[in-house]
Amino acid sequence: MTVISQPRYLPALTYLQRLHFAETFVLLDNVQRQKRGFENRNRVLVNASPKWLTIPSKSSSRALIQDTIIDGSEWITNHKKKLDEYYNEAPFYDPSLIDLYYGDLEDQIALMDYDFTESLAYLIKNICRMLNFEPVLLRASQLNSKEVEEAEGPDKIFEIAKQTETDLYISGINGREYGILECFEQSSIGVKFHTDQPTPYSQAGYDFVPHLAFFDALFYAGKDWVENQVKKIPTLED
C-alpha cells in the first residue's frame, strides 16, 4: 500500500492516519508548491478562530517543493512560543510534546542547508515517534526515474506508485476530481480513496473547527485519543 502526498507542516490527523497505514509513504516534492496550500503552513485555534503558522521561504511560490529553501530558523522559536501561548490552558497541554516535535531542528536545519523537504521529513518522523510508529518515507525527487520526472499531473502519481512496486494506491478523497482513476484503470495497481472525516472533540466549548494542526487535538483531546485516531483502520472506498 502506497500513499503519495506533499509534505505537510503541522499535519492534521487524517494525514497522519494515512502515514501510519501506508507501507510506503512518498513525499511528493517534485511538484510545484500549491498556492495557499498546506506544505509550509497550517492552522491552530486561537479564541475559536483558526490562525496560520507559516514557515518562511526564500524561494518563489513557483519553485518545486524539492527546490524550496527555508528562510532562516528564527521562526522555530516564534512558533513554539505561539503554540505555548495559544494552548497553555488546554486540558491536555504538555510543552514536552512541542519540544519532541521540533527536537533540535534549529541545529538540524542548518545541517540540511535549509532544505524544505528534508526539514519536513525530520518533523514528520518526530510526530511518528511521538505516536509510537515508524514510517517508511521516500522522496519522489529521489526515485531516479525518467518516467516520474517527465510525467505531469495524475500521470506522475501513477508513475511514482509503479516505482514503489505496490499493488494498492491510497488517495485522498480529492483524487476523484484529479483524474486518478483514469490513470490507474489499465494497470494492475488498485486505487482506494481515504474518506474518513475528522472526529469532533471539545475545543474549549466552541463549535468544532476541523482540519487543524495535530497539536490542537493533542492538547484538547489528549495523546491517547490522538494515537487511537491515527492508528484506527481508515475508511477506504472505490
Distance from C-alpha of 82 to C-alpha of 158, rounded to nearest angstrom: 39
Strands 168-172 and 236-237: unpaired
Residues in contact with 62: Cβ distance below 8 Å, sequence separation at least 6, in sequence order: 32, 33
User: For each of the chain's 238 residues, which pLDDT tens digit applies?
Assistant: 999 999 999 999 999 999 999 999 999 999 998 877 899 999 999 989 999 999 999 998 889 999 999 999 999 999 999 999 999 999 999 999 999 999 999 999 999 999 999 999 999 999 999 999 999 999 999 998 999 999 999 999 999 999 999 999 999 988 888 889 999 988 999 999 999 999 999 999 889 999 999 999 999 999 999 999 999 999 999 9
Q: Which domain holds residue 151?
A: 2-237
Of 111, 116, 122, nearest to 33 by C-alpha is 116
Of 199, 195, 221, nearest to 210 by C-alpha is 199
The total number of structural domains that make up the chain: 1
